[in-house]
Amino acid sequence: MPRAKKTRISEGDEIPLAYRPNPIRIRFGTNRFTAFFSFVLIISVVLFFSNIKSEIFFNEGSIPADDGRLLGHFPYKEAQQADLISVYPGFKVHRDVIKDLQAMRKAAFREGIELVLLSGYRSIPLQKEIFYENKSIRNQIAIERARVSAPPGYSEHSTGFAIDIGDRTMRKTDFEVEFENTPAFNWLKKNAARFHFVLSFPEGNSQNVSYEPWHWRYEGSVNALREFEPANKRQIEWKQNQDY
């Protein structure tokens, strides 16, 4: 699958220094001692940020470093507007999703479960607002925020294939880990796969993203499988390493 283009993020967006486009520049002195000291300093800085990069992106035994992730998240291109269908005002999904999504909700309803659609497609500009708004709300740096919210250009929601789901009878659990205790989540665990929906970020997931029992992605079409091939590949290789 062709790799999606990364969204350019400005220096003011708190991306770690090692990933900013402008390198650190240190002028060498005119004498040998100063030059040697400057050389040692540069090597130390390079090694320091190389270690940070390893800690952020990869765990021991993970897949190669060129998988394109940023703060644990894979890059995703934004869905074309022509490929999106409105389920209700303000909520859109990829056209490949709609048939199975409606069938899944009807099947759940027949068993007394009301699935609430909380969030579907998000544009990259909207994801940017969400990601950086968390800065003021949570007082967190980018690395911390990325555990609960993908950086713009790296969200599954931008594809139109990801959906956040809630339980009509327990709305206080919307976007909360406590959603795992609802009838809706228990039903999804048993039945979502029949409709080609997969839990994106289970507990202890390979991307080191916080557990999100409400976040499900659709993998029931060739388009969807292509989008999530890198994430699925990493999950498989990560699981194999865990089994050793």
CATH code for position 55 = 3.30.1380.10
Residues 209 and 76: their CA atoms lie apart, in Å, by 16
E strand or H helix that includes residue 88: strand 84-88
CB neighbours of residue 140 within 10 Å: 16
Tokens 């990869």 label which residue?
58
E strand or H helix that includes residue 93: strand 91-94
Write the CB contacts of 26 (distance below 8 Å, at least 6 apart in sequence): 38, 41, 42
Predicted local confidence at residue 21, as pLDDT: 43
The rounded average pLDDT for each run of 10 residues, N- to C-terminus, in the chain (244 residues) is 44 41 46 62 54 39 57 90 95 97 98 96 90 61 57 93 97 95 98 98 87 96 94 79 67
In DSSP terms, 70 is beta-bridged to 73
**Residue ranges making up the domain that contains 75:** 1-244
Residues 22 and 195: their CA atoms lie apart, in Å, by 46
- Give the whole-number percent of the chain exceeding pLDDT 90: 49
Tally of structural domains, the chain:
1
pLDDT tens, position by position, 77-110: 999 999 999 999 999 999 999 999 999 999 999 9
E strand or H helix that includes residue 110: helix 98-110
Structural tokens at position 44: 């130390």
pTM exceeding the 0.85 threshold for the entire prediction = no
Predicted local confidence at residue 211, as pLDDT: 92
Structural tokens at position 197: 């929906």
pLDDT tens, position by position, 56-71: 333 333 334 467 888 7
Predicted local confidence at residue 87, as pLDDT: 94
Predicted local confidence at residue 58, as pLDDT: 36
Predicted local confidence at residue 16, as pLDDT: 44
